Amino acid sequence: MNRLPRSASLTRRIVESLGEAIVTGHYGPEQAFPTEAELCVQLRASRSIVREAVKMLTAKGLLSARPKRGTIIEPETNWNLLDPDVLRWLLERKFSIGLLLEFTQVRLAVEPMAAMLAAQRGDAEAIARIEAAIERMRAAELGEGDALESDIAFHVAVLEASGNRFYSRLRDLVDTALRISIGVTNRSKGVDLASVEDHARVYEAIASGDGERAKSAMRGLLDEVTALIESTAGGSQPD
């Protein structure tokens, strides 16, 4: 709960608190979850707020209502890994190189194609956002601005420039995973910053309308990320 700003709604803070408790194993798998009345007392919240929080956690696959058993914790296999909150809680619970590698493999299946589509379909405004992210990355190299935020802004801008509504919806997932993976890959490389020039090659290909070159440049970026994550894991495969 401390991660959320004070301005966050009580419902959102309760979702964060309970979600973390579930994912970190405070409650066992398929164990009975506290009743609505018990949660109201524990969290000092109204029934309507608790009910809404439980509904949100149910939508994330963490909880379900069972006849005669009440609300129970779902096994991890049923959790929605495409939900940014669930992915973040899992990555922070007990850092998993395997999970990070799996998500990077998803990125490999999506982002090169998004870069190609951005080159083919991206309008001037969308491409300008990619360029702005590159400029932010260059500024971060000089100590002006946040390197992590500018790197995330680049990848999100490419997804949005693709014109594919499904790819665009992955922006929160990519944002979440990058906040973990960038630290891992930069430590593995022994540097604190991503390669601006490697990212700039993707932008230049998109700006020139060369879809195949954009796709290849983005794949090269993510191939390096994959290799760095695998080297961190000692070349082992996910559990």
pLDDT in tens, 64-76: 988 777 889 998 8
Amino acid at 215: K
Using a pLDDT cut of 70, give the percent of the chain over it.
Answer: 88
- pLDDT value, residue 65: 86
- pLDDT value, residue 3: 54
Any residues with CB less than 8 A from the CB of 79 and at least 6 apart, and which? 23, 60, 61, 62, 86, 90
Which residue matches tokens 């990355």?
Answer: 137
Rounded Cα–Cα distance for residues 99 and 205 (Å): 31
Q: Where are the alpha helices (DSSP H) in 34-94?
A: 36-43, 47-59, 84-93
Any residues with CB less than 8 A from the CB of 18 and at least 6 apart, and which? 39, 53, 54, 57
pLDDT band of 25, cuts 50, 70, 90: confident
Per-residue pLDDT, averaged over 56-85, amounts to 90
Rounded Cα–Cα distance for residues 135 and 172 (Å): 22
Nearest alpha-carbon partner for 83 in 67, 63, 109, 112:
63
Compute φ and ψ for 32, nearest 5 degrees: -60, 135
- pLDDT value, residue 221: 93
pLDDT higher than threshold 90 for residue 229: no
* Distance from the Cα of residue 236 to its chain's centroid: 22
3-state secondary structure of 8: coil
Rounded Cα–Cα distance for residues 91 and 89 (Å): 6
- pLDDT value, residue 239: 44
- Name the average pLDDT for the chain: 87
Structure tokens at 90: 């899992």
pLDDT higher than threshold 80 for residue 45: yes
Compute φ and ψ for 141, nearest 5 degrees: -60, -30
Residue 239 neighbours by CB distance under 10 Å: 8
* 233: exposed, middle or buried (Cβ count in 10 Å: 0-12, 13-18, 19+): middle
In tens, the pLDDT along 115-164 reads 999 999 999 999 999 999 999 999 998 889 898 899 999 999 999 999 99
Domains with residue ranges and CATH for the chain: 10-78 (1.10.10.10), 95-232 (1.20.120.530)
pLDDT higher than threshold 50 for residue 1: no
**Considering only 3-17, 154-168, 170-184, which range has the smallest mean pLDDT?**
3-17
pLDDT higher than threshold 70 for residue 238: no
3-state secondary structure of 32: strand
Cα-based torsion angle of the residue sequence 14, 16, 19, 24 in order, rounded to the nearest 10 degrees: -120
**Is the CB of residue 198 less than 8 Å from the CB of residue 150?**
no
- pLDDT value, residue 232: 76
**Considering only 44-58, 93-107, 176-190, 209-223, which range has the smallest mean pLDDT?**
176-190
Structure tokens at 218: 């983005």
**Is the CB of residue 62 less than 8 Å from the CB of residue 83?**
no
Rounded Cα–Cα distance for residues 154 and 94 (Å): 28
Rounded Cα–Cα distance for residues 206 and 199 (Å): 11
Per-residue pLDDT, averaged over 91-112, amounts to 86
